[in-house]
Structure 1
């Protein structure tokens, strides 16, 4: 409930004409006032892609989708950064040795066998290492 109220408040800020929806020009204008830049044609594309009822405007649900889409991208970037910290050799996989090394840096001391067991729980294809896709599942 609280999050929805916050989105409504932000939507009202963007909604210059008070119709409860955001047009492409309102989106472009308000972003410019906030120091951002979104050309009207880019705003039109954004509104068109998020407009769920085809009226050419963003309603509250559409706006929430816009706001939360950025959050998902940020989460994905954070996951990639975390994965890269574990993937010391940069080969796209976390091996038991790399897991042991990172856990040791974090103050958690595990044997190679314990690390192999940890990896086995999330190793969907049985190759003995964790890929980024498996890491994402592990972190959910």
Structure 2
């Protein structure tokens, strides 16, 4: 019943920020919600854009289903940002790819020393375009 728990959690959050009890979240209410949940500020303009993009009812407000889409989208964005940070650890020179040498160095720092040949083999398993390196897109596929 993990899905049910998720839905009930979303309902509690939705109801908490639906200040006037109309079953809809306004852009102003969405701003308060984002700040309370993530501690981040959402500008009035960004809140308006988010509501406009997700509003399935066409009334300038988010119904519960729209709100769930918003929260799921935020979580997906957080995952991608976390992956970008992790990718940077393996790409210290900012070249945009993980090479066998950079993988070897990072694994060594993590206490998991591997030979360059072993690192090449590891990379080859996820190197979708066959260039001998792992791009961020390939890294995402590997991690998700």
Map 1:122-137 onto structure 2 (within 5 A): 122-137=126-141
Q: Distance in 2 between matches of 1:33 and 1:127?
A: 43
Q: Distance in 2 between matches of 1:81 and 1:44?
A: 29
Q: Distance in 2 between matches of 1:129 and 1:48?
A: 40
CA gap 1:131/1:33 in 2 versus in 1, 3 angstroms: closer
Verify the 8 A CA contact 1:94 1:130 in the aligned structure 2.
yes
Map 1:45-56 onto structure 2 (within 5 A): 45-56=49-60
Distance apart, 1:20 and its partner CA? 1.4
- 1:86 equivalent to 2:90? Answer yes
Q: Distance in 1 between matches of 2:7 and 2:15?
A: 12
- 1:106 equivalent to 2:114? Answer no
Map 1:1-140 onto structure 2 (within 5 A): 1-28=4-31, 30=32, 36=41, 38-39=43-44, 42-140=46-144
Query: Whose radius of gyration is greater, 1 or 2?
Result: 1
| TM-score, normalisation: structure 1 | 0.85
Report how many aligned residue pairs link the two structures: 138
Q: Distance in 1 between matches of 2:35 and 2:137?
A: 39
| TM-score, normalisation: structure 2 | 0.83
Calculate the aligned-residue CA RMSD, in Å.
Answer: 2.2
Q: Distance in 2 between matches of 1:9 and 1:103?
A: 43
Q: Distance in 2 between matches of 1:26 and 1:78?
A: 27
Q: Which runs of 4+ in 1 moved over 6 A?
A: none
Verify the 8 A CA contact 1:14 1:27 in the aligned structure 2.
yes
